[in-house]
Amino acid sequence: MHIEAFREYCIVKKGVTEGFPFGADVLVFKVMNKMFALTALDRLPPQVNLKCDPEWAVELREAYDGHIIPGYHMNKNTWNTVYLQQVPEKLIRELIDHSYDLIVAGLPKKTRQALEDLE
């Protein structure tokens, strides 16, 4: 997956915004102001950080040794760094969806309702 395709997949999700809170080279995607994906645009090969269930994170790291690793500069238990061009695109989309869903599930009830009410 190319970084442009990654961005396009993230930005169309309900309630998602993008920004550069950590500087001009780190693109962050948030749902209802909570981060679910980020990428350092100057990193080669392209890689992204995505939130992940801790048990699945370990399984993914074992299955994709060196291509899915503990999250760079993130909580190593709940974030993975995924190398975009070494992991199947279908899995990357699944991981983006999973990260988004984890964040949404953790939102306060009122915020989740506001997200559902968005068109």
d(CA 53, CA 35): 15
For the segment(s) 3-111, the CATH number from 3.90.1150.30, 2.130.10.10, 2.40.50.140, 3.40.50.300 is 3.90.1150.30
Q: What residue segments make up the domains of the chain, in order of their start? A: 3-111
Instruction: Name the token pair of 81.
Output: 């760094």
What value does the mean pLDDT take over residues 21-25? 94
Distance CA 109, CA 38 (A): 25
Percent of the chain clearing pLDDT 90 (strictly above):
96
Residue 86: predicted pLDDT? 94
CB 37 within 8 A of CB 48: yes
pLDDT digits 0-9 by tens, 42-86: 989 999 999 999 999 999 999 999 999 999 889 899 999 999 999
